[in-house]
Amino acid sequence: MTTITLYNTRTRRKETFTPLDPDNVRMYVCGPTVYDRAHLGNARPVIVFDVLFRLLRHVYGAGHVTYVRNITDVDDKINKRAQDSGRPISEITEETTRWYLEDMGALGALEPDHMPRATDYIPQMIAMIETLIERGCAYEAEGHVLFDVESYDAYGALSGRSVDDMIAGARVEVAPYKRNPMDFVLWKPSADDLPGWDSPWGRGRPGWHIECSAMSHELLGGSFDIHGGGNDLMFPHHENEIAQSCCAHPEGDFARYWLHNEMLQVEGRKMAKSEGNFFTVRDLLEGNWDGGWPVPGEVIRFVFLQTHYRKPMDWTAKKAEEAERILRKWYAQAARGLGTGKPCTGVITALSDDLNTAGAIAECHQLSHADDVATLRHTLQFLGLMGDGVPEWAAAPDVDLSDWEHRLFEARKAAMKTKDFSEVDRLKAAMIEAGVEVRMSKTGVELVPGTGFDPAKLEGLE
């Protein structure tokens, strides 16, 4: 069986991945807060862990992997959006969840096995909070329930910070009812105009961190294999998840391997509205960004895969243009690779080395150069870069270039005799300028027009 190695944030080293149960490999990834369109940075963990999901399914079998990615549908940002728009919260969360799944699907991401919504697991959260209070790890104060960080000795181990350092460096809510500034909210009261549920501590709603602990325990158990997310979640979200989960269920290990992806930049700068370089996935798909053209989902995915997940990724228009050009070429080749097959062994080997996606892309280039079209097709499908056929945006236009093929072939035959290839070079350059891929061999010439083919550029060619 293929050996997978992953960098475990918790131990700060690359480790051989050994699942608790090879017949049920379990992974939990923090999902979206559904109040608006997903921005480009939101897509990075989706693509990273989609690749890992595909790899795990390939190695252990599709029926032996359970992937959970939650949906946060109770949150102060959602409440504010509802107040500002005058729309019901349920209507907003339904709409934005649909948007999220459509946009991530356009990037080639498979849907997880489970996508639990926080509002469907309130009873489990309340039960977990009650357990934490009973164990002396949480306390009630002024209608709130807070986790006592001093009750968990290993608090800070994931992020490598001491509690004193975290207090000094973090923006924490200063409240008189907190015993320690780092204590975090498990439950808080809700006013009549906000979502709320009855609980032993009055009508209220859960804090952010408790939902992932409750849902992962319900769906994956007290111990599971992989927990993933962006490195911006390492502290405080993941740190708090570990503390409350290990205190509520000390018989379990919670997550054994922690994976975190680095953040995204745009043209070398942090993506932010204040920088004027902020855009959503939908903006890219529809062409509403600085580049000014619609970027296919496969192209967005390709750009992401070119950078290792633990390195900062820089989105640039130049990268998108180059990715589109490469994919057009690969699709034209892969379209000829019909029949059964399997992904390239080199790609599996690269991904098994801590998700080396850049190495996997390099293997695809080798397949293209070798013209191994069948393996290329199945490899692109495995990587989520190609479906069952060539996407419409990359399909060559239906034009007849047979006369030009004959002309170029005859010019090449003549040049072989005279050793003067100037006419061949001239015709070939004109074809390429017009958006035509030229393939020449001893037996003939094949001209393949791309979607950017401009026949007008051939009209004046004598």
- Please identify, among 354, 375, 394, the residue that sits at the C-terminal boundary of a domain: 394
User: What's the pLDDT score for residue 457?
Assistant: 80
End residue of a domain, out of 338, 368, 394: 394
Strand partners, 7: 14
Please report, in tens digits, the pLDDT of each residue of the chain (462 residues total).
Answer: 899 999 999 999 999 999 999 999 999 999 999 999 999 999 999 999 999 999 999 999 999 999 999 999 999 999 999 999 999 999 999 999 999 999 999 999 999 999 999 999 999 999 999 999 999 999 999 999 999 999 999 999 999 977 666 665 555 556 888 999 999 999 999 999 999 999 999 999 999 999 999 999 999 999 999 999 999 999 999 999 999 999 999 999 999 999 999 999 999 998 888 777 889 999 999 999 988 889 999 999 999 999 999 999 999 999 999 999 899 989 988 988 776 779 999 999 999 999 999 999 999 999 998 888 999 999 999 999 999 888 988 876 667 788 888 899 999 989 989 999 998 899 888 888 887 878 777 777 888 776 567 777 887 776
Considering the domain architecture, whether residues 241 and 338 belong to the same structural domain is answered as no
Residue 353: predicted pLDDT: 98
| Interval 247-302: pLDDT, tens | 999 999 999 999 999 999 999 998 888 777 889 999 999 999 988 889 999 999 99
What's residue 172's pLDDT? 55
CB atoms near residue 224 (< 10 Å) = 26
Chain centroid offset of residue 42 CA:
7
Side chain identity, residue 185: V
Same domain? For 257 and 327 the reply is no
pLDDT for the residue 168: 59
Judge if the upstream peptide bond of residue 88 is cis by omega within 30 degrees of 0. Answer: no
DSSP class of residue 234? I
Residue 118 sits in the same domain as residue 227 = yes
Do 359 and 413 belong together in one domain? no
Q: Is 154 exposed, middle or buried (0-12, 13-18, 19+ CB in 10 A)?
A: exposed
Residue range of the domain that includes 440:
402-459
CA 331 to chain centre: 22
Return the CATH number at 21.
3.40.50.620
For 62: left if phi > 0, alpha if psi spans -120 to 50, otherwise beta; the answer is alpha
Kindly state whether residues 269 and 337 are assigned to the same domain: yes
Q: Helices in 335-450 by DSSP H: which ranges?
A: 345-352, 357-370, 373-382, 402-418, 422-433
For residues 191 and 275, is the Cβ–Cβ distance under 8 A? no
pLDDT of the residue at 173: 57
Q: Examine the domain organization and report whether 190 and 147 are in the same domain.
A: yes
pTM above the 0.85 mark?
A: yes
> Among residues 329, 264, 275, 332, which one has the least CA distance to residue 300?
264
Quote the tokens at residue 68: 């959970």
User: In total, how many domains does the chain have?
Assistant: 3
Residue 405 and residue 349 in contact, taking contact as beta carbons nearer than 8 Å: no
* Amino acid, single-letter form, for residue 337: G
- Alpha helices, DSSP H only, in 61-203? 76-85, 89-106, 122-134, 163-169
Burial status of residue 402 (CB atoms within 10 A of its CB: 0-12, 13-18, 19 or more) = exposed
109 with 160, same domain: the answer is yes
- Residue-wise pLDDT for 128-160, tens only, equals 999 999 999 999 999 999 999 999 999 999 999
Q: Are residues 151 and 24 in the same domain?
A: yes
The structure tokens 């039960």 sit at 127
253 shares its domain with 268: no
Of 363, 394, 425, which one is at a domain's C-terminal end? 394
Which pLDDT does position 398 carry in this prediction? 67
Do residues 154 and 181 both lie within one domain?
yes
Sign of CA dihedral 124, 130, 135, 138: positive
Q: Contact 159/271 with Cβ under 8 angstroms? A: no
User: In terms of domains, do 328 and 223 share one?
Assistant: no
Which pair of tokens denotes residue 309? 């997940």
Residues 6+ apart with CB under 8 A from 137: 147, 148, 151, 152, 244, 247, 248
Find out whether 446 and 439 touch, Cβ atoms under 8 Å. yes
Q: Do 19 and 40 have their domain in common?
A: yes
